[in-house]
């Protein structure tokens, strides 16, 4: 096993992995831009709820979920690499990325679960009188 360190005291394999994460993050960034152009937004509340049946929309949700962790992983390696020269900048940037990752990590599943739950709720009681519930 090659334990050779780079000039930043990080294993070369960690830098290579961070570079790959950064490149895949760039691809997911493109997909986050491109995928919304492949489906139509629905009209009104029902149309928005119906988006969960659109495969491109669901792929976009998953891409966004994965994108956050790829970007965070890539930046963690960058922060470790520049920590010796710019400790404060690296630390502040890392904290900002962690806050962004936590916010997105809570947002994306909430959207997915909410759409699925609302879709289930709206079809469960179709045709029933509210008074009979």
* Mean pLDDT per 10-residue interval, the chain, length 133 residues: 57 86 95 91 77 85 89 90 87 92 78 58 46 43
Residue 26 covered by a domain: yes
What is the value of pTM for the model shown? 0.69
- Give the other-Cβ count within 10 Å of 108's Cβ: 19
Residue 57 covered by a domain: yes
- Cα(47)–Cα(17) distance, integer angstroms: 41
Helix (H, G, I), strand (E, B) or coil at 23: helix
Residue 113 lies in domain = 12-123
Provide the number of structural domains found in the chain: 1
pLDDT score recorded for residue 111: 66
């Amino acid at each position: 096993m090659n334990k050779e360190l780079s000039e930043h005291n990080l294993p070369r394999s960690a830098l290579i992995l961070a570079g790959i994460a950064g490149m895949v993050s760039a691809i997911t960034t493109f997909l986050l831009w491109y995928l919304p152009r492949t489906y139509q937004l629905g009209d009104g509340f029902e149309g928005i709820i119906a988006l969960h049946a659109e495969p491109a929309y669901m792929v976009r949700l998953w891409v966004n979920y994965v994108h956050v962790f790829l970007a965070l992983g890539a930046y963690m390696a960058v922060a470790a690499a520049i920590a010796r020269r710019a400790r404060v900048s690296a630390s502040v940037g890392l904290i900002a990325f962690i806050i962004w990752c936590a916010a997105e990590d809570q947002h994306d599943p909430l959207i997915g679960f909410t759409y699925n739950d609302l879709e289930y709720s709206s079809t469960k009681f179709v045709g029933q009188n509210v008074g009979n519930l």
